[in-house]
Amino acid sequence: MAQYKTPNVYVQEKSIFPPSVAEVATAIPAFIGRTQISGELKNIPQRITSMVEFASLFGGPSREAFHFSASVDTLLDSGATEDSLVDFVTSVDLQTIGLGSGGNETLAPVASHLLYPMVEHFFANGGGACHVVSIGDYDETGLSDANNQNGEKGAFSAALEEIAKVDEVTLLVLSDAIRLGASDYYALCQSAMNQCRKNQDRFTIIDALDSFDPNSSSDSVNKSIGEDLGVMRNAVTQDLKYGAAYYPYLQVNAPRYYDESMVTVKITGKKDPDVDLEGTFTMSDHGGTPLHSLLKTALGTNKMVLPPAAAMAGIYSRVDGTRGVWKAPANAGVSGVLGPVRTITNSEQEDMNVDTLAGKSVNAIRAFTGKGTLVWGARTLAGNDNEWRYVPVRRLFNMVEESVQKATGFAVFEPNVPLTWLKLRTMISSYLESLWKQGALFGATADQAFFVNVGLGQTMTEDDINNGVMNIEIGLAAVRPAEFIVLTFSHKSISS
């Protein structure tokens, strides 16, 4: 008690309200990959809230090289002359001059470096703040060398370790690592889920690698769905409740990035010995010409293909902000896309949603007539687990666990007595009741929705108290998504 020595009227304020639980953020992803510039920021997580910030720190996208070819026969038949060649090209075929290897090869369906468009797609789908870790510059890679591939996996692993130290992060996205191949990519995903288990405050969004080929027949496309998912299910085996997989890839409504100085047109063949139009021309050398316009139009139709995890991170953020983390991030539209790269039917999704062998569910992204592209699944990889089957349930518990953990920090070294227990019980119950009122918990009354127990004979023994241990038991009746809605109809007889 205060010692009063001077006669006076003294005013004291008495707190009658318990401490409150401050809710933690639920959709702050971390993106890892290569950037145009890294410098001193290499392997140092940076928090950003816009692409302007991204560009100021890490530069722009990785720009690709493309090659167009046209035959002399086609050109001359359409009326071209040697003098007007660069101003009159009417038929071109898109192919690549090599994405990093320098040799002629088939155009890869997905670009080499995805971090920049990934973050773009995150913001386009409702994302807010995120953390970005650059593992180095674009030109540092040497993916044609198997030894460098191993080094690349190590670079991603090192970045994951740095992200583990960032408390704000709640989602992990590794889409830029898909270029390493299934074995290394899924090993990194497994490491990410291991981190989620250890930190108990984050969740991993996984891209089920898609082997789609735009030129494949429908039969081979359908067959490859099972093969793609089989590879993922065999590779990812632990901490399944901390991750969710999505499939297939998405074709976005923006074209692939290119460098005009590396876009070329090669003219091949001779019409006759007296007419020689063979040569190679670059796009940048002919700005403002019909040739330049033609190439720009052709490149504009070459839309980018991205794995879905970055868009899903944005959708998680959007749904959390508008409805709450307890609402399944499903039956939600994907923005900025033309559609998924393959059509998935109801029968095909049966095997994706319910894996009878290992229970590793994969969430489908599907196009619906009149509705657009929708996320059509809300399961974690622990599809057979009755407790942790659904994404919103796992993420709700993540939020509550971390929020309560931080809020109860004041009680460390406080007397382990009934007054302290009452403060904690009141504080936690107040928070959980607010969640119940928002619809996060199931039950007609608060008592049905949750419980908070703490006290001697309830959660602690005399020995616990003597050893400085305070046990608090919390139970939640989490709401679950209505995944299967069954409508039963019958004929109604009309009595006379």
Judged against a pLDDT cut of 70, whether residue 487 lies above it is answered with: no
Residue 259 exposed, middle or buried by CB count within 10 Å (0-12, 13-18, 19+): middle
Q: Which of 301, 328, 357 is the last residue of a domain?
A: 301
Q: Flag whether 405 is in a domain.
A: no
Mean pLDDT on 25-41: 95
Q: Say whether both 119 and 195 belong to one domain.
A: yes
- pLDDT, residue 298, reads 79
Q: Flag whether 327 is in a domain.
A: yes
Q: Flag whether 347 is in a domain.
A: yes
Burial 379-395 (b: 16+ CB within 10 A, else e): bbbbbbbeebbbbbbbb
Please tell me the distance from the alpha carbon of residue 474 to that of residue 362, in angstroms, as a whole number.
Answer: 31
Mean pLDDT on 269-293: 69
* Predicted confidence band of residue 467 (pLDDT cuts 50, 70, 90): very high
Q: Say whether both 356 and 327 belong to one domain.
A: yes
Q: Which of 392, 420, 437 is the last residue of a domain?
A: 392
Q: Say whether both 156 and 277 belong to one domain.
A: no
- pLDDT, residue 300, reads 85
Q: Flag whether 15 is in a domain.
A: no
* Predicted confidence band of residue 91 (pLDDT cuts 50, 70, 90): very low
Q: Which of 301, 321, 355 is the last residue of a domain?
A: 301
Please tell me the distance from the alpha carbon of residue 468 to that of residue 453, in angstroms, as a whole number.
Answer: 17
Two tokens at 64? Answer: 């690709």
As separate numbers, helices (DSSP H) first and strands (DSSP E) second, the chain gives 13, 17
Mean pLDDT on 373-382: 96
Please tell me the distance from the alpha carbon of residue 324 to that of residue 340, in angstroms, as a whole number.
Answer: 26
Judged against a pLDDT cut of 90, whether residue 13 lies above it is answered with: no
pTM metric for this prediction = 0.88
Q: Say whether both 46 and 136 belong to one domain.
A: yes
Q: Say whether both 361 and 229 belong to one domain.
A: yes
Q: Flag whether 397 is in a domain.
A: no
- pLDDT, residue 223, reads 64
pLDDT tens per residue, range 195-204: 999 999 999 9
Q: Flag whether 96 is in a domain.
A: yes
Number of domains, the chain: 3
pLDDT tens per residue, range 386-431: 999 999 999 999 999 999 999 999 999 999 999 999 999 999 999 9
Q: Flag whether 417 is in a domain.
A: yes
Of residues 256 and 96, the one with the higher pLDDT is: 256
Domain CATH code at residue 240: 3.40.50.11780
Q: Say whether both 457 and 317 belong to one domain.
A: no
Q: Say whether both 229 and 335 belong to one domain.
A: yes
Mean pLDDT on 253-276: 76
Q: Say whether both 251 and 265 belong to one domain.
A: no
pLDDT tens per residue, range 99-108: 333 434 455 6
Phi/psi at 372 (5° precision): 90, -155
- Per the prediction, the chain carries an average pLDDT of 86
* Predicted confidence band of residue 151 (pLDDT cuts 50, 70, 90): confident
Q: Say whether both 383 and 458 belong to one domain.
A: no
Judged against a pLDDT cut of 70, whether residue 458 lies above it is answered with: yes
- pLDDT, residue 188, reads 97
- pLDDT, residue 98, reads 36
How much of the chain, in percent, has pLDDT values that exceed 90? 66
pLDDT tens per residue, range 216-242: 555 555 568 989 999 999 999 999 999
* Amino acid sitting at position 347: S
- Contact predicate 322/350, CB 8 Å: no
Judged against a pLDDT cut of 90, whether residue 437 lies above it is answered with: yes
Q: Say whether both 347 and 421 belong to one domain.
A: no
- Which domain, by its residues, includes 288? 64-103+257-301
Q: Say whether both 214 and 354 belong to one domain.
A: yes
Mean pLDDT on 427-448: 95
pLDDT tens per residue, range 184-197: 999 999 999 999 99
- pLDDT, residue 73, reads 61
Q: Say whether both 347 and 218 belong to one domain.
A: yes
